[in-house]
Structure 1
Amino acid sequence: MAASGHPPNLALEKLIAESGASHKALAARVNQHCQAQGKAARYTHTSVANWISGMIPRWPTPKAIAAALSERLGRPVSVAEIGMPQPATTSPEIGLDFPRELPRAIDVAAAWWILGDQVNRRAFGRLAFAAAAFTTPSTRWLIQPADADAALQPPRSRGRRVGTADLAELRDAVEHARHIDSKYGGGSFGSCLVATCLRERAVPLLKGSYTDAVGRELFSATAQLGRLAGYAAWDVGDQAGAQRHYIQALRLARAAGDVPLGGYVLASMSLQAGLNDHVEDAIDMAQGAYERARDQATPRTLAFFKLVEARAHARAARRHGRACARRAAALALAHSETLLGQAHPDDGDPVWIDFFTHARLAADATEIHRDLQMPHMVMRFEEMATMPALTYTRSAGMRNAIVGSAHLQARRLDEGLEYGHRAVDILSRVASTRSLTYVNDLLHALTPWDAESSVRQFRRRVRQELRTPA
């Protein structure tokens, strides 16, 4: 991969010059060290030039580079000295910290985004969602949602100065990833590029030097990428990885001084908690996002936070059957509708909230009322949920499954199956594990009709086309 555009690794360039090693000779020795550590490697002089230009190779190559330079210089050379991250840990705890100090926060985020994909993913896959992991990050953000100006000057910066072109590239990556994720799901190739962008573009920029203004924009764009990475990980079932992306995104939103964005990340954390049935934590985070941002966020943004709260209350009503949760869901949804009605094109909405329209509110309201066992309200909001399926493919597929479940609540089997088949038609084109949970809810609701041949045929189709137990 070309390294063009990366802040150059001046520390590595200086050490190579001191060692007197040619790029070809150094590459050959690095290959030998990698092979001794069980990694096949075929690095060349071009690889060395790319490392100097700022590209960070995967572990254990940084360790091999340090070892090769140690031999040349006749003294120990650490991975940190060559300007590359040292994996202080590859344990499941990586990425959970929410440091108070900005330099440490940058190091923690960099370590997660560089090393996180190299941690044993099977170990992460065995980890369930842990609501406690969100406690410290959300508390610290609520207490202090923005860092002071002076904290935006990294004291250990390396490489060239970050400029507006770098920021434009990151913002373009965010927009591209947002639309790819909505259309193709978190397991799509486009969403996978978010992790690569964080590791190979955003992290080197974070390690560069920049003014306060540029730093804030850099942290904001990186936080948006981190939130997208979290959403994509959650969408494919990587609950633990998603939590770590969200935590680091929230920390960088604080570094950016972008309180509405921090609230958006916290609302995303609330959604994950709620759909994992940690409803009380979900309610707290959604309410916290709203209260902390209410004087700084636009009505559209605040309306989304209230919608997320309504979803959490409805989930609580579904789980515990409490009448107070039903009332709270209705109040939060009504508040969201009111705020969205106050939104105006001149409000200066952040681009990341542009998806939240009356049609999107209606789409989410179908799920809220399904959870509240109010199928007639599901049908009412379904008529208003006109988001284009070609753009919001995953959302359209899940909504069809939700409406199908609501028809079954009303004992309408034919209509339930009709919407179920529509959901399969759409979701067969989406790489999303999370969307399958909505199909599974529909399958569970079909249990009373298991003797019907049409139900057996539908279950067979789900097994074949969505590869989910039916």
Structure 2
Amino acid sequence: MDGGGAGGTNTGKRPNGQLGSWFIRSGWSKGELARQVNRRAREMGAHHISTDTSRVRRWLDGEQPREPIPRILSELFSERFGAVVAIEDLGLRSAHQSPSVSGVDLPWTGPQTVALISEFSRSDLMLARRGFLGTSLALAAGPSLVEPMQRWLVPAPPGDPGRTETGPAAPSALPGLSGPELDLLESTTACFRLWDAQCGGGLRRKAVVGQLHELTDLLQESHPEATSRRLFRCAAELAELAGWMSYDVGLQPNAQKYFVLALHAAKEAGDKPLGSYILSSMSRQMIHLGRPDDALELIHLAQYGSRDSATPRTQAMLYAMEARAYANMGQPSRTKRAVRMAEDTFSDIGLDGEPEPDWIRFFSEAELNGENAHSYRDLAYVAGRSPTYASLAEPVMRRAVELFAKDEDHQRSYALNLIGMATVHLLNREPEQSAALAEQAMRVAGKVRSERVNTRLRKTLSAAARDFGDVADVVDLTERLAARLPESAEAV
């Protein structure tokens, strides 16, 4: 093994205080960090890397390691803390990579969007074992994520051929796809979306990625503008769904990349409401990763971009996500205002008689209650386990659970809201009720393949065991969960 592969340059032997701070808070020893780096390097195929405790010490002393070590360290610390820990946060430098491999600041042109979707989906299919492709990616956060997304609002240059036809400019279009063929593509996407809601992201993710890759072959041909826009809309929906499924199974860098590509495709389709929905998915991921400030900026971007075109259901969903971001930022008055706006706008659904796209139909009364209840629940935690906000969350979460119990098509959401209700009971110091709901969630979780559900179950029961380790129901359920769902670090 080449130990030098894990080395790098030494810049004046000044200790790396940023890396040292993260390292101390992680609780790892130098040997444990070295072993994790080596394991991750082997997963990437970087077998030349062999790190040891002395090498870790040199990084802490200020040595700048060569790639892929900075990416690996970013991944490991992100997993450890459940939030984005960028390479720069560690006081490290990363080597330049092409936009097709990493980064989110991509060209906003039709042909390049198609090429990037084709390349990324192909790589995902080829390197589809869990975590492998993710190790070649870096999560973007802060301005490096938000600023490129703002270009979604910039009008296309007049006469840009990438906006009106796919592939090279051509004097005449090839024979177009028939209406029934386009209908079939769209109905297939709707079917994939239903499977995801019923079964979780782990079962059909590769099928969605494969369909997306096949679609790029069609997009590389010339089509009439109307056909091109429908194909781009279908690509945007498939890319968003691939991102959502990746998020659900814990492949966070992959998820972000698909979301970004989906937003580019939505712009080519000229579909602003769809773009706002994609931004809401990105916002949800940022909340999950502990970046509510980024989540709020993405939601505001979505609201501004679709203010004149989104249906009441889409607007209500965006307000609900705005409330989630404010709650995680610890802003009660703004959270409550956004919750009220979500409820008021939801009550307008159907008044205008406008048909709604399939991608927003998931946002039912159950989802509205679930999101708003989680906002109050999150506020309670941010406010130091406030009983006031827990009491606001309880009736709304109970209503969400009641509604999802009747909905066979959204079993993952049912499980997540059962877990949410269990956390509310923990806030109210009612461990037996919490354990009963967590047990019910565990039964529902057995029907879906969702690392997100499994992770929330583990975290909820871990918190219950920490606070109520002397309660028999909690001890019994914790032991059964450990046997059924062994610990599995999420691939961030």
How big is the shift at 1:161?
A: 3.1
AA matched with 2:164: L
Residue 372 (structure 2) aligned to one of 356, 365, 387: 365
How big is the shift at 1:361?
A: 0.3
- Unpaired runs of 5+ residues, structure 1, are 1-88, 318-324
Q: Which residue of 1 is the match for residue 10 of structure 2?
A: none
Deviations 1:84-140 (A, max 9, x none): xxxxx8998257453122222221222212233335864544456432553344111
Query: Identity of aligned pairs, percent?
Result: 28
Residue 352 (structure 1) aligned to one of 348, 352, 359: 359
Bigger shift: 108-117 or 91-100? 91-100
- For 1:285-296, what aligned pairs fall within 5 Å after superposition? 285-296=298-309
Number of residue equivalences? 373
**Secondary structure, aligned partner of 1:347:** coil
Residue 153 (structure 1) aligned to one of 165, 179, 186: 165
Deviations 1:276-318 (A, max 9, x none): 011101001011101211111111111111111111111222x
Q: Which residue of 2 is the match for residue 227 of structure 1?
A: 240
* Alpha carbons of structure 1 residues 146 and 418: separation in structure 2 relative to 1, 3 Å: farther
* 1:116 is the counterpart of 2:116: no
Q: Quick check: 2:322–2:338 contact (8 Å CA) kept in 1?
A: yes
Q: Which residue of 1 is the match for residue 193 of structure 2?
A: 178
Q: Quick check: 1:233–1:239 contact (8 Å CA) kept in 2?
A: yes
Q: Which residue of 2 is the match for residue 130 of structure 1?
A: 140
* 1:140 is the counterpart of 2:140: no
How big is the shift at 1:444?
A: 3.5
The two structures have a TM-score, normalised by structure 1, of 0.74
- For 1:427-438, what aligned pairs fall within 5 Å after superposition? 427-438=445-456
The structure with more radius of gyration: 1
* Alpha carbons of structure 1 residues 136 and 124: separation in structure 2 relative to 1, 3 Å: farther
Q: Which residue of 2 is the match for residue 191 of structure 1?
A: 205
Deviations 1:325-384 (A, max 9, x none): 122111111111111111116122222111212221011222112111122222211332
* 1:452 is the counterpart of 2:471: yes
The two structures have a TM-score, normalised by structure 2, of 0.71
Q: Which residue of 1 is the match for residue 483 of structure 2?
A: 464
**Secondary structure, aligned partner of 1:156:** coil
Q: Quick check: 2:323–2:339 contact (8 Å CA) kept in 1?
A: yes
- For 1:39-438, what aligned pairs fall within 5 Å after superposition? 93-94=101-102, 96-119=104-127, 122-126=131-135, 129-132=139-142, 134-144=145-155, 150=161, 151-156=163-168, 161-188=176-203, 190-200=204-214, 202-317=215-330, 325-344=331-350, 346-373=353-380, 374-385=389-400, 386-387=403-404, 388-438=406-456
Q: Which residue of 1 is the match for residue 48 of structure 2?
A: none
How big is the shift at 1:445?
A: 2.8
Alpha-carbon distance in 1 for matches of 2:138, 2:167: 37
Bigger shift: 351-360 or 162-171? 162-171
AA matched with 2:141: A
AA matched with 1:112: F
RMSD: 2.5
How big is the shift at 1:469?
A: 7.0
Alpha-carbon distance in 2 for matches of 1:155, 1:110: 13
**Secondary structure, aligned partner of 2:244:** helix
Q: Quick check: 2:296–2:322 contact (8 Å CA) kept in 1?
A: yes
How big is the shift at 1:145?
A: 8.3
**Secondary structure, aligned partner of 1:99:** coil
* Alpha carbons of structure 1 residues 177 and 148: separation in structure 2 relative to 1, 3 Å: farther
* 1:443 is the counterpart of 2:461: yes
Alpha-carbon distance in 2 for matches of 1:223, 1:125: 21
How big is the shift at 1:392?
A: 0.6
